[in-house]
Amino acid sequence: MGIFTIASQHLRFAVKLAFAIVLALFVGFHFQLETPRWAVLTAALVAAGPAFAAGGEPYSGAIRYRGMLRIVGTFIGCAAALVIIITMIRSPLLMLMVCCVWAGFCTWVSSLVKVENSYAWGLSGYTALIIVITIQAEPLLAPQFAVERCSEIVIGIVCAIVADLLFSPRSIKQEVDRELDAMIVAQYQLMQLCIKHGDSAEMDNAWGALVRRTAALEGMRSNLNMESSRWSRANRRLKAINTVSLTLITQACETFLIQNTRPEVVTDTFRELFEAPVETVQDVHRQLKRMRRVMAWTGEHDTPVTIYTWVGASTRFLLLKRGVVSNTKISAIEEDVLQSEVVIKPESAERHHAMVNFWRTTLACMLGALFWLWTGWTSGTGAMVMIAVVTSLAMRLPNPRMVAIDFLYGAIAALPIGAFYFLVVLPSTQQSMLLLCISLAVLAFFIGIEVQKRRLGSLGALASTINILVLDNPMTFHFSQFLDSALGQLVGCFLAMMVILLVRDNSQARTGRVLLNQFVSAAVSAMTTNTARRKENHLPALYQQLFLLLTKFPGDVAKFRLALTMIIAHQRLRNAPVPINDDLSAFHRQLRHTADRVISASSDDKRRRYFSQLLEELNVYQEKLRVWEAPPQVTEPVRRLTEVLHRYQNALTDS
């Protein structure tokens, strides 16, 4: 697609963005805000951010979700700024340094929390820094600045949401319904591949695609939940469908792996049942009815456990899917499904990565502040703001370097655009509010089209252009002011990118090892006789970690298979009928303790020692299971887990 081409599907959002910016400007001037540009900038970023991420018009829930996170982040940042100012007002340099540390702390937290919510923490970091920088000349006006900032940002968010509502909001509900239909068909086709036991590469592609689709469906659920309160029942069902989908993937993959050593497990009866091709949900429904009749005739004990579990999960999937589509009252059967398990949230495996992000943001902000104070540069505040914004927002994304480059390109592109508007267009519109709004609407319209194409520098250009236009009340047009502001943005973006490049993030290998050890710990922790612990469902957390592993190591098939093997081991051991007695219960606690020490080990030597200890304890555990006459449903998964850990010991312990 060319630079100057305008596709029809991009027009509606471009109009929506232009309206949001114009409305924020009009409201800002109407309420006599001193700096309405912050309201305009907020409206632009709240609307354009989801569009850039989606590569097109975002769904309505995405804009509202981003707006709510921005409000939360702004209030946290304002509160932190006021506390810092009140306690350190007599020492301006210390106050500024502590604020830089706060920005780094927020970046650290945003690197650990759920990706969607990290936006609020990243925003709170640089909001506090902006307030502290702004009040350097007049510190006693800090409460006023904080209130004004909150007001401007809330106005901008409300304007973005109003624009989304007025211009035919794009509901995600129909997309969710279509994705559920396609997903159950894909699940059935994956099971067909696994039962055929064909090419492993084809199977890897199929289950990898389904893992990604399940993760994407969870993101769609968040948007649907924010779209309207009437989807609350559908939201509960979709939460459960996420777990059911992951269960289906796990059982299908286990069916494939079992046949590597015992192909006779899958009988000819079930091979024939899965031979029939499926294209629609109705086809899947008919096949599942046939399978349930066959299993009722053959009995549970004569049905492979993976197929039995898979059919049960598929039935639950169809039941919940029907409820999502109709959005009717939750039935008693559905309620039992929804409350059957407690979903456990995952622990972060990126603690080292988060610490690197902390130092990147803190050092960048401190160096920028010291340079500003040393030189006395009037636009040092603009550079500081850009450093904080770029580092805080870039750190929470997989490729911070590209985000920094996007902002730098955007700042460069904003120079000629901003100069033309600042020197020619805006001075000519001062006598007419209508002309001012039209001129900004034209700018927002064309940049909005480029944002949807995910053009490098488009989002940075939108933010930088609005920022350097200095939409204050009243507006002044001093060229030196414009030049200082533009130069400050360029320097800030450049310094932020330099810090990101110089402070290297070498945490990828460590993160991969921690993730794999967490899979091992999850498999070991599944060996328990505690009823409450058995009800804990770690599957969504494990697959979230697997998705992170896919992101970190996109071509490492060995890591994916090892992680998947651990997930399968966890599921099998979780449902295994372990004999209940004090001896085994005490040993389960010892196994979990040793597995946790493997994860938390501070060096390779300690990790190897604890891992060897874990292997020895698993050997002892197998002897205990024989003494207590545990059934094969327990001894076999434990034996397979021990063999896998022996085989991949080096990969799990060495950095």
Q: What is the mean pLDDT of residues 433-437?
A: 84
Per residue in 189-233, pLDDT (tens digit) is: 999 888 888 777 788 788 888 888 888 888 888 878 877 778 888
Compute the distance between CA of residue 245 and CA of residue 234 in angstroms, rounded to an integer: 16
pLDDT averaged over every residue in the chain: 83
Query: What is the pLDDT, as a whole number, of residue 1?
Result: 45
Residues 6 or more apart whose CB falls under 8 angstroms from that of 321 comprise 180, 181, 184, 237, 241, 281
Closest CA to 31 of 142, 151, 160: 151
Burial class (CB in 10 A: 0-12, 13-18, 19+), 14: buried
Query: What is the pLDDT, as a whole number, of residue 655?
Result: 59
For the cut 90, the answer to whether the pLDDT of residue 23 exceeds it is yes
Per residue in 235-266, pLDDT (tens digit) is: 889 888 888 898 899 888 888 888 877 777 77
Q: Which residue has the tokens 């920088």?
A: 133
Three-state secondary structure along 87-138?
A: HHCCCHHHHHHHHHHHHHHHHHHHHHCCCCCHHHHHHHHHHHHHHHHHCCCC
Q: Give the pLDDT band of residue 644 (cuts 50, 70, 90).
A: confident
Query: What is the pLDDT, as a whole number, of residue 175?
Result: 86
Q: Which two tokens stand for residue 52?
A: 């850039």
Query: For the CA atoms of the chain, what is the radius of gyration?
Result: 28
Q: What is the mean pLDDT of residues 269-279?
A: 84
Q: Which two tokens stand for residue 401?
A: 């370097």
Q: Which residue has the tokens 């205990």?
A: 624
For the cut 70, the answer to whether the pLDDT of residue 480 exceeds it is yes
Per residue in 566-576, pLDDT (tens digit) is: 888 888 888 77
pTM of the predicted model as reported, rounded to 2 decimal places: 0.79
For the cut 60, the answer to whether the pLDDT of residue 100 exceeds it is yes
Query: What is the pLDDT, as a whole number, of residue 539?
Result: 81
Per residue in 126-169, pLDDT (tens digit) is: 888 888 887 766 767 777 777 887 888 889 989 988 888 888 66
